[in-house]
Chain A
């Protein structure tokens, strides 16, 4: 093993030379740094490589599009850090009677109902079999004022034609009562009073159809409110209005939670450039199929240039979680789809329809899972039950036309009940029957209350992005939930006070402050009350609930500007989650996350994922792929080049022809075919690159080998009778190795960039996370459009590639510089 000692000496020599080249040191330390990061990836981010696009739960408490933690250093503001609070204290006053809802042995339910018409309503309580247990008739009577007028069929449509910013509001308005006078109906747009509709009296119960056209200021979402809280509609006005979408399709891949959108033809009827907007909204519905919250997940603007132009538009999007989504293209094509990842569907459901047929296809409300559940679980013991409806005999339309029904379950028995309401219409025969409430009357029992108080110390200028509450437990049906935020100035804001779910058994609830319309409205009304009483600001001058920056308000100082631009209120905040219900058990795993205004080393993406965690795995996969290709290049290249150089003659000639043919093989088309039709896997990619990339190195190594083969000591070795294998291995390879390493080092960045590029082409490995995954997601979810919100998302993966690339290229260069003068000497 004499040659090994020589090799060691050579290595030492190379290192000595290396020290003279600054650039080489920079390169090597960069590579070392990245390799260490890559090696530590499982420590920094365990499991992330497999869960990146699957496990939504892992990321859901994170802020969205939050800049990195060190963003504080480059901006003048302090940002609230991401804080997870896992410890809680019990609320000090357990006898707080506000929370008590159930009496021993009784359970009651309140329900607000809406009536479109006056007259008698019959309420029936039936059990699961349909037997009527209790019956009650209530007369709905008109009160005074605007309430005597009934607004129905409110429709808000963007006007078709030249101007994209006009809407047509139409509604049916009925006089309910003999108030023989003209009336006005207020119309509010986004909370501002816009108009008053004059309504002339033409007789009782005469319906008049009124429609008006309004011009709006800008492209936006508008809430139209006609009457006093009677009819609300939601419309998006602006871009896309005069654009006809001829064919629009969404393919949802439920396994990977991705959606592919394509619109084959978009025709612009307005002679101007405009953008057409595509949005994916996550929507939450209540039992009646009304949307209670919506959250825009993706938003992309498609520019349309010129007019009467037809073009193809495509996009692909990652959906963050299971649930119900609305895909809104322009303002006319809406598609709603429930995404459930559990189903192993081989072929993703493909739906497409045309804009013209949209009216017919209109959104169908999803079948209610609880229907089936309750039928299955229905109990047979209804005979033993005594039910009592407590309802007033007369109800006046006025107090938001509600009626309070108290239904009491006298026995200690679980019971499935349905409340039906029927309305006798004059002269129309059969009364209409309608299930208005479906409920589970729980077994009466011990009333349990849970008060968990979480403490958060807020010392910053920019508040947490949201409060994310996560708690689970077991309930026996119904329970009441109250969430209160106590602020350092002694005031408190109730975020939520609702009755939850007709659920039996385990529940797992997550509540976020940004996604719930009811929380927005609750907070808004409390602040509006304060502003009204303390500062005499009329409600008309305030923002509407959906335009309030909720975190800023929750963590802001009470002042005139509370709703608009409040100063941050620093100090200790207590968030109390109070649950009470019969048979309620809370699991000891509640946690509250005050998700930061900044997060992690590299921020988060629009799917709330920590970019740094994906990034370290990207470094790891990149280096593994590059390293493997480099190793095989050294191996194949050296073997091939040396054999060719050593034997010479026809062997050399033949191998050179072969190498030339190999050089002619293009990489990209082969990659496309294999990855597309076989397997989109990083290992397949590495294999193809390993098989194809050594050809260039082999050529360089051969030409160097030709020089070495002529050296006198090779001749000497030959004359001593060494075998050719021995000569190649022991005498020539150590001479050649630095060249091979230099060549291979230059390959690593090429491999990493190619791998990332494949993701953009759509051929990347979907099961892992690499820098390409990050960049492709950033590109396709429109991060390019918003520099301020997501610069970190695009910047860091690229910088990662640059660092690795710079490291390897400069190392390769340094090696070449060291060996080149040697070559000259010989």
Chain B
């Protein structure tokens, strides 16, 4: 896992250092110029020279490229993401990228893990039901629904949901990036505020993802149900409930869980974009702010790296769980059938 992390960080640092050279130079020039305009500097030329040198050193622009890549990767791995270069600040007023991201990250995790728990549970339950009655109306509906839902972009569904429930029916407040604060409201108000805010994005994520999940679960389970030992179990009179929840689930659990986590990881991008649509102040919202409004290089970089960390982390959690559920696999040796 660490190896992958290091490799990914190096790839991204290399990409950044190569591509953003120009951008950083411009940034340094602009910063020096604005400082010259703002303050009353006596000797402008020497100040410009010194300051440019200083800033170039801060961004490691004076070093050869491979060293830059190395330094930037080292900084990222030690979670030293630098300071934001624009007006962006964290809630406590600090401009450290890590603190800014830490402001937004918990909200993303809150929304996304809640959604993940709900849709995975719902998906697996419905998938099991459908597998039990393969070929039934439920089964057919499920595959159609799963296919349709997974061919719709989550954030587009979000836009439609907002159109209908906020602006046409008026059941929910307009999406706004303001997040309830515990220090301003009572605990109950705080929780209910979050719940009201979360309802629509949560419902959207669950709606879009659970169909596909149920359908994949159903496919895996039907596959297992055709195995000989299930037939044997049924033949020897094991009750159907036990066949499903005991025998089948034991075999089906590893692929079901891994595929659930994998699809979870795949949908992180979609969920971040949905945050923008719902004005949910999480990582995706922060990213758009950083790109569009502030063009803040360190923040954009920081978000990319943190997202990458989370992805890799999630990926290895999936691996661990697989090993945990499937006794044939030794943890760390990679998950393969």
Contacts and interface: CB of A to CB of B under 8 A. Distances in A.
A761 B273 contact: yes
A65 to B, nearest CB: 15
A763 interface: yes
Contacts of A660: 4, 334
A670 B15 contact: yes
A663 B7 CA distance: 12
Contacts of B87: 264
Nearest to B176: A303
Given A314-B289, A665-B8, A306 B304 contact: no
A276 to B, nearest CB: 11
Nearest to A756: B153
A808 B151 CA distance: 9
Residue from the set A304, A762, A791 with the largest chain B CB neighbour count within 10 Å: A762
Given A787-B163, A801-B156, A676 B315 contact: no
B105 interface: no
B196 to A, nearest CB: 11
Contact of B152 (A784, A787, A805): A805
Interface string A781-805: 0001111000100110110011011
A661 B5 CA distance: 9
Interface string B141-153: 0000001101111
Contacts of A762: 288, 291-292
Contact of B23 (A264, A674, A677): A677
Interface string B276-293: 110000001001110111
B contact face: mostly helix, strand, loop, or mixed: helix
A259 to B, nearest CB: 12
Chain B interface category by residue count = 35 or more
B82 to A, nearest CB: 15
A761 B284 contact: yes
Contacts of A677: 15-16, 19-20, 23, 297
Query: Binding site of A, secondary structure by majority: helix, strand, loop or mixed?
Result: helix
A672 B300 contact: yes
B16 A809 contact: no
A303 B176 CA distance: 7
A775 interface: yes
Contacts of B159: 775, 778-779, 784, 794, 798
A666 B311 contact: yes
A501 interface: no
A670 B311 CA distance: 12
A246 to B, nearest CB: 11
A760 B277 contact: yes
Interface string B292-315: 111001001101110110011001
Given A661-B4, A672-B304, A749-B151, A775 B156 contact: yes
Contacts of A312: 177, 289, 293
A311 B91 CA distance: 10
A749 B152 CA distance: 9
Given A302-B176, A306-B178, A676 B300 contact: yes
Contacts of B23: 677
Contacts of A787: 163-164, 167-168
Given A306-B178, A784-B162, A806-B147, A673 B19 contact: yes
A802 B12 CA distance: 32
Nearest to B300: A676
A656 interface: yes
B173 interface: yes
A664 interface: yes
Contacts of B337: 703
A663 B12 contact: no
Interface in A705-722: none
A757 B148 contact: no
Interface in B103-131: none
B304 A757 contact: no
B101 to A, nearest CB: 13
Contacts of A779: 159, 277
Contacts of B163: 784, 787, 791, 794
A668 B312 CA distance: 12
A403 B205 CA distance: 70
A646 B254 CA distance: 27
Given A674-B15, A754-B269, A779-B159, A802 B148 contact: yes
B4 A664 contact: yes
A805 B148 CA distance: 8
A661 B272 contact: no
A302 B167 CA distance: 14
A761 B168 contact: no
Nearest to B223: A820
B174 interface: yes
A813 interface: yes
A667 interface: yes
Contacts of B40: none
A657 interface: yes
Interface in B166-205: 167-168, 173-174, 176-178, 184
Nearest to A776: B276
Given A260-B292, A303-B176, A761-B273, A668 B315 contact: no
Contacts of B305: 669
Nearest to B303: A672
B153 A813 contact: no
Nearest to B311: A666
A204 interface: no
A665 B308 CA distance: 8
Contacts of B288: 314, 760-762
A262 interface: yes
A593 interface: no
A415 interface: no
Nearest to A313: B177
A678 interface: yes
A539 interface: no
Nearest to A746: B150
A49 to B, nearest CB: 21
B233 interface: no
A810 interface: yes
B23 to A, nearest CB: 6
Interface string A736-772: 0000000000000110011011001111000000000
A313 B15 CA distance: 31
Contacts of A673: 12, 15-16, 19, 300-301, 304
B11 A753 contact: no
B178 A805 contact: no
Contacts of B268: 668
A786 B151 contact: no
Contact of B19 (A678, A754, A775): A678
A662 B269 CA distance: 18
A809 B23 CA distance: 41
A664 B312 contact: yes
Contacts of B255: none
A6 interface: no
A201 to B, nearest CB: 54
B227 to A, nearest CB: 12
Given A664-B8, A669-B307, A801 B19 contact: no
B141 to A, nearest CB: 13
B297 to A, nearest CB: 8
7 contacts: A306-B178, A656-B336, A669-B304, A672-B287, A677-B20, A757-B155, A761-B291
Interface of A: 260, 262, 264, 301-306, 309, 311-312, 314, 316, 656-657, 660-661, 663-670, 672-674, 676-678, 703, 749-750, 753-754, 756-757, 760-763, 775, 778-779, 784-787, 791, 794-795, 797-798, 801-802, 804-806, 808-810, 813
Interface of B: 1, 3-5, 7-8, 11-12, 15-16, 19-20, 23, 87, 147-148, 150-153, 155-157, 159-160, 162-164, 167-168, 173-174, 176-178, 184, 265-266, 268-270, 272-273, 276-277, 284, 287-289, 291-294, 297, 300-301, 303-305, 307-308, 311-312, 315-316, 334, 336-337
Nearest first, the 6 closest Cβ-Cβ pairs linking A and B are: A805-B151, A666-B311, A669-B304, A664-B4, A678-B19, A677-B20
